[in-house]
Each structure stands twice: as C-alpha cells, then as structure tokens.
Structure 1
C-alpha cells in the first residue's frame, strides 16, 4: 500500500463525512423554518425540504453538475459530465468523481433550502417543485460554474472558499425575488398597510435547527478543503466557530440594549449570519478578522431585517438578511482582509474590485432568473396558494395533514384524508 493510496483513502473518508454533515443541515433547515412558522404549516416546511433533497439531488445529477463542472465553454457554462458519464479533464481531483459529486450535491440542496424559508406559508407546493428543478438544474449550477467551475469570474481571480457568494448571496437574492413576487402572508399587513411581527410558533424547535446548521457548517467550510491532510482544517474550524459566536453575541447585546430584552429569534439568526459571513474567507483570514466578520454580519442582519419590514417584504425566516446581506459582507471582507491579496494586508485593490464585481453579477443573476422563472411557472400553475388554502394551512391543503402534532389514532387508509378534512372543519 503506497502513501498515495492511504492519502486518497483518508481524503475520501473526509469528504464523504463532511458531505454527510452538510446533508444533516437539511434537518436544521426543517426545524428552524418549522419553528419560525405557524403550526398549520409545519408539515409543508418538512415536505419542501424533502423536495429539496430528493428532486434537487436528481436534477443536479442529471443536469446541474455537468453545467457547473463540465469542461468550460467561453467561461460561461460546462458542457459535459452529465450523469457523471465522463470525468471533466480540468478538475484534477485527488478523490473520485463520485465523492466530489456527493459533496457538491450537498451544496446545491442548501441553496434551494434558503429560498424555501422566504416563501413559507403561502407558496403553491406544485409551483415550488417546479422551482426546485429550475434552481438545482440551471440557476445555481451556471452561476457556480462562473466561480468554481473554471468560468470567467474564477479566471478573473474571485475568491469564495466555501460559498458566501455562490451559495448564500445567490440564494438570498433568489429568496428576495421570490418573497416580493409572491407577496406577504395574509394578515402580515394591517389594513393601514403597516407591517406586523409574526411570532414564531416553536422557538426551542428553531434553536435546535440552528444548532444543527451550526454543526453542519464545520463540514461546509472545513470540508471544502477536499483533503483530510490539509493543514488549514483546524484554522477553518476555529474561525467558523469564532464568527458564529460573534454574530450571535452581537445580536444578543444589541437587542438587549436596543429593546431592553434579548430577542431569541435575532440571536438565532445572528449566529447564522456569522456563519454565512465567514464562509467565503474561512481559509484566508485571521482569527481576529473572523470575529469582526461575525460581529458585523450580526448587525447587518438586524438592519436588513428592519429594512424588509419597512418595505413590507415578508421573509418569515429572514433568508435575505441572513444569507444575502451577510454573504455580501463576507465576500467583500475577503477583498479587504485576506492574508494574500487583501486591501488592508498590502494586496491592493484588485481582489476587492473582483469580489464586488462577482457579487453584483451573482446577485443580479439570482434575483432576475428567479423572477423570470416564477413568471414562467405562473403560466401553468398559480405560484401562490389560494386564500382558502392559506387560511386553513398548507399542511391540510397540500399534504392531507391536519397538524404536525396530534394524538395517535387508527383509521382506514382510504379514509385518512377525509378524516383530516373533517377534523379541520370541526376545529374551525
């Protein structure tokens, strides 16, 4: 057995395990979003996450991976590697193509889950399924090719180690477009047109979801080394921890002094904002800079949340403030503080300018393609649930479930949907 064989085996184990950690983040998304929305929509949240991980995986295997990592055409798109039929020559992997694909598939599922939360409680489930196909087969893979798949932004020198821009900014602007397109939830705006605060249904559930996301983020960032022997793994892990802690601590202190109470949803999202912010630069910045990135991410998340409320844009879980705004800051921070090439570390303006250019392109792509995609979907299927469906809840409307939590009983299989509907009528 050669050293190369041992190293390759260790790398494979590392990448598979970190891919599994990222996939576990889907449980985090499910619990976080379910905790932030009303009980009558909890099952719908879960089913959307299952759609992300099932339909999204298949679409990425069939189409998305080839567009993202296939051999480059004019810096714009990949042209082969569909269904892993061949090995794109430019990848130069020291792990198997199957292993690399698994890790990348975990990423694409995370992108669509960002959008899921922004349209919670009012999107037509069938329309959402079509959007999952669009995001995982086209929108994200093409943008990912520009940065990570030997496309034009990568060739210009854009740095995004684990996805503050490619995953979170893109996903966050897609979420913003979807939230604006579909409109606010019924009851979110008063008759006078002012925005109200929707109280979370289960904060302990949401907090467990956040902790699962936090755990999975170590796989998200450290796993992006694609090597178990990469000496940066420990540093990547500690800056990930420090940034998340700084984001949560900043929002805890801010809300304590600003509102005279420490607001739990804000602290949860502040920690997640810190995680998003450090994702681009986790391999490039110091411990102290990571704390700064996390703290600023938390504050920016709070300001962006208030900005959405002031403009009557309904984002039930804070997808845009957490992912897009923090992702933008984290990507810019690389241009400012990267040990190699940062403006404040002697590298000049080049990297910062490229980072800003890449952010502008990815933000516009995510927003515009989402808006256009929903417009096309609307031609066949209403994108928004009907008023009646929204009123009784999407659980009963789309999944035949009166509630996510109920006492156990036995009924005939063919009668179960009728029984759920009868229970819903009686309860209302």
Structure 2
C-alpha cells in the first residue's frame, strides 16, 4: 500500500518536471506567448457578444417586460408591468421594515434585562422572547381579524382581499366601526399577498405593545399568568383599540362623521402601540405591587439599580435602529418618498429626547445618568411616532425635547408620588409619551402631507396651523386609549390574580426568579459587584 502511494507521487513529480522542461523550450515559449496575445486581443469581441453592463444603465429594457411578442410589449403590457413593479416595491419595502421592527424585540430584551437585577436575567429574557411567539399565535387566531377584518382595500399593497367585514354601530345617521370580523387564522378567504404582508407588518407592531408590560412587572411576575396575559392582549385588547384607529373604526371616523379634522390620526403608533403598552404596564405594575425592599415603611424610595447598563445602552441603539422600520415603514409604500422626511424627523426627535433627558437629570441630580439618557432617546422616539410624517424638522426637535423632560418627570412622579414600582420606566417612556405624541400631531401637523387621510379631503393640519378640530380628535383618541386599556387590563389582572396568582413568593423573589421559574440561571458563576463612588 505504501509502495503504491510512493509510486503515484513519483509519477506525478515526473509529469510536472516534463511540463516544465517543455515550457523552457524557446519554440514552446513562442506558442504560449502567441496564444496569450490572441486571447487578449479577442477580449473586446467576447465582451461585445456577452453585452456586459457594469454601470447598470442599460439593464432593464423592453426585453424584460413580459409580452406576447418578446421585446415588443404593447401599451397595456407596459402599464401592467409598471403597476406590478410598483406594488412589488411596496410589498418588499413593507416586509423589510417589518423585519427591522421584529429585531426591536432583541432591543427590548436587552434594555429591560439590563435595567433589572442579575438574579432575574433568564426570566426577564424569557418573557421578552416568548411574547414574540405567543403574540404571533394570538394575532393569527383572531387578533388580526378583530383589528383589520373590515379595513377594506389597502391600495399600496395591491388590495387586501377578504377584509371587508366590519361590525358597526349606527348612530345619528352615521356608522361607527367597532370591530373587524374577517381573517381568522388567515383562512383561505384572505389567502392573498397583500393580506399576508399587512399581517406580518402589523403583528410586529402588536408585539411591541405586548412586550412593554414585561419590563414594568419584571422581577416578580410568575411565568404562567404572563403566558395568559400574552394571549389576552394580542387577541383582544390591542386589536380592539387598533381597529378603532387603523382598521377603519370609530376614532378614525371622527373627521368624516363629526368634522373633527381627519379623525384620530396616529401615523405609526404613539397611541395604538405605545400608549396601549404603557397603560397596560401601569395597570399591571399597580396590581402586582412593588418589588421587595423598593419602598421603606415610611414611604421612602429605595432605588434598585439595574445590573448591566452597557446591555441597556446597546439595547437602546437596537431599538433606535429598528425605529427606522417602525416609522418610515408605516407608509406601507416604498414608492412614497415622504419616507426621507419621516426618517430624519425620527432621528432628530430621538437625539433631542436623549439630550434633554441628560440635561434635566444632570441639573436635578448632579449626574447625567446613562439610564435616563437611554430612556430619553426612547421617549423622543415614542413621541415622534404619531406625528413623524406630518411635521417639519424644527417641530420634530421640539417634540423630542419635551419628551426628554417628560420621561424624567413622569418616572419620578410614578415612583415617588404614586409609589408604583416600574423597574424600567415603561409607563413614563411609552404611556406618557404615547399620549404626548398624538397631542403633538394635533398641534404641529403642518399641512404638507396626508391628503385624503381617513377619507377627509385636504392635508392634515394641527392647531398651530389652523385646525383645532384635529387637536380635539387627538385628545379624544388619547383619553379613550388610556381609559379603555387601563380599565380593561386592571380588571383582567385583578381577576387573573384570583385564579392564577400573578406574583412569586417572597422566598423566590429574594433568591431570584431564574432557577425557580425557568430552571436555569441567566449567569453562571459569581457576580462581581462594582462599588459605587
């Protein structure tokens, strides 16, 4: 066996040596050089035959338009191709931005986990992870049907076949939409590319709202009632309010039916997503009660610091990145060039929120506080989410700056005055600034965008630009959201607590929820405590 291998290697060496000797012959060198020269000279000919287009200017011609006669499309065939490509661009844009919003779940997980204690890392991460899966299933079962079952046709997605059944209340000669009634389980009647695109994009928005209470109730919430909560908010609470604003329901019809501007307008979810999540978080935190040791017997606040500020900061950056899907994606159209204005407004408001939160905290406490910088950025993003498409750059900075101060003030008020323990400031970030976001639209919308919004002719204008009715519609929507969501979720948590207790035992809370609830530790090994100077 070894001799055979040696023989083959020797044979190969001999062959290579012969080739090298042949090439060293002067006549062989001439033939090789001639061959290389001929190949080099023929390159332009090959290039001409292959039709390369390195600039891309000649790629995509009449030859690429589907036609009965190749290369000679009729006017109708060209029109069909243009229409198809427009819808394709919109669908691809909407899906990609939906993927960005889905990635925000990682940001939420890191922010909430970083702002809580090391002994609860696995539990907090697990809630942020599983709310995604639970939310998908709940929204698929009936949430999507309740929210968008009567929306009709979304033109930018080429239509949404089958979503034509809205249950309405007839008052004063007007129809007020209450709840959708089509699209359960994404059944065959809505088996359509436009519907499926809308489902994915709206599902990740719902998931953002659903994950907000996981931070407010962290470090003492049992996992079983959390699972029940996940289905309840994704199947019923979020879809109902979402229908009233985005599904053609009664709040969106305040303009058509009552002459209040364009009705309650919320471009990307300050109320529909963030105020819903914030109100639910406040109700849950109130019912479940504060963490052990959070407040002394005489009512003094005992801060419980987060264990990993770098994690929270990185999570904030992920959220800010995902927000470029959240807000610009809400056009549902990559062909809507307003996306550039929306993206820049989003960026400016986030910066103003972070900067003002830093300054305000620095002035009031003597330290800038990186945690409040992060919450300030998120507050600016929440506040600009509703008005991002309707305001100019200066207004975006003002909206974000006010949000940066508001988040600090509300967080302190909830913690010190109301004695509600919200470990991550969920209500201050999402609830309070969700309200501010829709009110800001009612004030600052400049009339440069939104012609025909919610069936009302003309562009969207706020109070400062001549339409007081728009501000009234925004106020009605904000109040309705808080009263409805907080009320329903408070009752839900109270009843659920009687059936499946919300809170872990004191012993489990003292030890940490990871092993008792999850069966695994978030961190293995000793935790290093850094002294505070």
Q: What TM-score do you get using the length of structure 1 for normalisation?
A: 0.92
Say if 2:181 is the partner of 1:79.
Answer: yes
Distance 1:87 1:333, change over 3 A: farther
Partner of 1:280: 386
Alignment partners' CA distance in 1, 2:329 and 2:210: 20
Q: For residue 86 of structure 1, report the CA deviation from its aligned partner.
A: 5.5
Contact 1:114 1:171 in 2 (8 A): yes
The Cα RMSD (Å) is 1.6
Partner of 2:123: 44
Partner of 1:34: 113
Q: Max radius of gyration: which structure?
A: 2
Correspondent of 1:335 among 442, 445, 448 = 442
CA deviations on 1:224-243 (whole Å, 9 max, x unpaired) are 01111111100000000000
Partner of 1:367: 486
Correspondent of 2:428 among 289, 304, 321 = 321
Q: What SS class does the counterpart of residue 152 from structure 1 fall into?
A: coil
Q: For residue 406 of structure 1, report the CA deviation from its aligned partner.
A: 1.8
Alignment partners' CA distance in 1, 2:200 and 2:509: 36
Task: Count the aligned residue pairs.
Answer: 403
Alignment partners' CA distance in 2, 1:172 and 1:391: 27
Contact 2:149 2:181 in 1 (8 A): yes
Q: What TM-score do you get using the length of structure 2 for normalisation?
A: 0.74
Contact 2:121 2:523 in 1 (8 A): no
Q: For residue 175 of structure 1, report the CA deviation from its aligned partner.
A: 0.5
Partner of 1:246: 352
Partner of 1:16: 95
Say if 2:275 is the partner of 1:169.
Answer: yes
Gapped runs of 5+ residues in structure 2?
Answer: 1-64, 66-80, 151-165, 169-176, 255-262, 448-460, 528-533
Contact 2:246 2:252 in 1 (8 A): yes
Correspondent of 2:324 among 201, 211, 218 = 218
Q: For residue 88 of structure 1, report the CA deviation from its aligned partner.
A: 7.0
Partner of 2:516: 397
Partner of 1:312: 419
Alignment partners' CA distance in 1, 2:272 and 2:290: 27
Alignment partners' CA distance in 2, 1:287 and 1:145: 30
Q: How does 1:146-295 map to 2 (within 5 A)?
A: 146-156=244-254, 157-295=263-401
Alignment partners' CA distance in 1, 2:189 and 2:121: 41
Alignment partners' CA distance in 2, 1:97 and 1:159: 22
Q: What SS class does the counterpart of residue 76 from structure 1 fall into?
A: strand
Contact 1:169 1:325 in 2 (8 A): yes
Question: Runs of at least 4 residues of structure 1 off by over 4 A?
Answer: 86-89
Distance 1:38 1:79, change over 3 A: same
Q: For residue 375 of structure 1, report the CA deviation from its aligned partner.
A: 2.1
Partner of 1:344: 464
Q: For residue 391 of structure 1, report the CA deviation from its aligned partner.
A: 1.1
Alignment partners' CA distance in 2, 1:181 and 1:239: 37
Gapped runs of 5+ residues in structure 1?
Answer: 408-422
Alignment partners' CA distance in 2, 1:86 and 1:61: 13
Alignment partners' CA distance in 2, 1:164 and 1:265: 22
Say if 2:404 is the partner of 1:298.
Answer: yes
CA deviations on 1:29-78 (whole Å, 9 max, x unpaired) are 00001100001111111110122110110010011000000121111111
CA deviations on 1:257-307 (whole Å, 9 max, x unpaired) are 222221111110000000000000010011000000000001111110110
Partner of 1:62: 141
Partner of 1:378: 497
Contact 1:68 1:145 in 2 (8 A): yes
Alignment partners' CA distance in 2, 1:200 and 1:47: 17
CA deviations on 1:3-38 (whole Å, 9 max, x unpaired) are 111112211211111111001000000000110000
CA deviations on 1:344-388 (whole Å, 9 max, x unpaired) are 0122x1011111011111111110111111122223210111111
Q: What SS class does the counterpart of residue 154 from structure 1 fall into?
A: coil
Distance 1:87 1:304, change over 3 A: farther
